[in-house]
Amino acid sequence: MPVVCSSCEKKNAVLKRPKTGLSLCKDCFFWAFEEEVHQTISSARLFTAGETVGIGASGGKDSTVLAHVMKVLNERYSYGLDLMLLSVDEGITGYRDDSLETVKRNQQQYDLPLKIVSYQELYGWTMDAIVKQVGLKNNCTFCGVFRRQALDRAAMMLKVDKICTGHNADDVAETVLMNFLRGDIARLRRCTAITTGSEGAIPRCKPLKYAYEKEIVLYAYFKKLDYFSTECVYSPNAYRGHARAFLKDLESIRPSSIVDIIHSGENLSVKEDVKMPVQGTCMRCGYISSQKLCKACVLLEGLNRGLPKLGIGKHHKLLAQEPLTEKEEKKLKAVDF
């Protein structure tokens, strides 16, 4: 027997919301999802009329839904924002080249300007070349650091005021778990912030912070949005994958676990006597950094010197202090990656 939508009580329900358990028709689900994102944006005062906002676009479900919803809400509530798409080409054959084709179609579908920057033009390396050097164990470290800086550089080129990314509730909860397990107090303190980068970098915000991944998939599916669904070929061994698997197990038992973890992260306090990193700027490239050299410059230095292990773990301290001696280089090469 068909279930009636619990919101309008007129149409038959087509889904049961993972977040609330309510049975809704398509139209009521679309409205509820969009209104919740609007509530997130307005309550946190993420944007100011007249701002140029760059939407991080990868072609995946999260960024595609973000671009669609931002355009809808910008028109519905007259945010007065100038929206554009920002994409990064990491140089991953069979993955990023295909997903960028989706981004280019999104550009035409949403009639938004698009800027693409590549690792090759910014760093002289592609992820394919980096993986050949470092293997599949620590490659995500290189990609994450380079991509974050690349997105900022693209934003600076276009004089963007803010960047918004498609990080959803699942992503934020996973990050809380990862930072907790690593004992990374500095990142744990800021990973739940809906806006980051106020220290000097271009501010970033997460309009989908409280949107469940399952609901983003349902929204994209029922809206028939054009997105790329293949996972990165280099990410199967990523540490995040273990946090994600654990979170999915928790969600299957208690659906509210995702938002509960986020709220726990938001309410964590750090003792006053805990020393926190002080943000400065990289002496080489000028990017924000708590060290003399930013992580991207250290990683790049290691790659260019044939010492890709240089930026992994604590080895970056050697470079930040002084050039490596021949003996230190030999010792570093002997370390098991």
Show binding-site residues for ATP: 56-58, 62, 88, 166, 171
Residues facing 166 on adjacent strands: none
How far the first Cα of the chain sits from its last, in Å, is: 58
The crossing angle, in degrees rounded to 10, of helices 213-223 and 61-76 is: 70
**Which positions make up the binding site?**
56-58, 62, 88, 166, 171
Phi, psi of 26 (to 5 degrees): -60, -50
Distance from C-alpha of 113 to C-alpha of 65, rounded to nearest angstrom: 17
Residue with tokens 């928790």: 250
The amino acid at residue 21 is G
In terms of residues, how long is the chain? 337
Pairing of strands 23-24, 15-16: antiparallel
Complete DSSP assignment for 170-187: HHHHHHHHHHHHHT-HHH
The amino acid at residue 193 is A
72, 34 contact by CB (below 8 A): yes
User: What are the strands of the beta sheet with 162-164, ordered from one edge?
Assistant: 114-118, 82-89, 52-56, 162-164, 204-205, 195-196
The amino acid at residue 166 is G
CA angle 67, 68, 70 (to 5 degrees): 65
Residues 6+ apart with CB under 8 A from 313: none
Distance from C-alpha of 321 to C-alpha of 308, rounded to nearest angstrom: 18
Supply the DSSP symbol for 311.
G
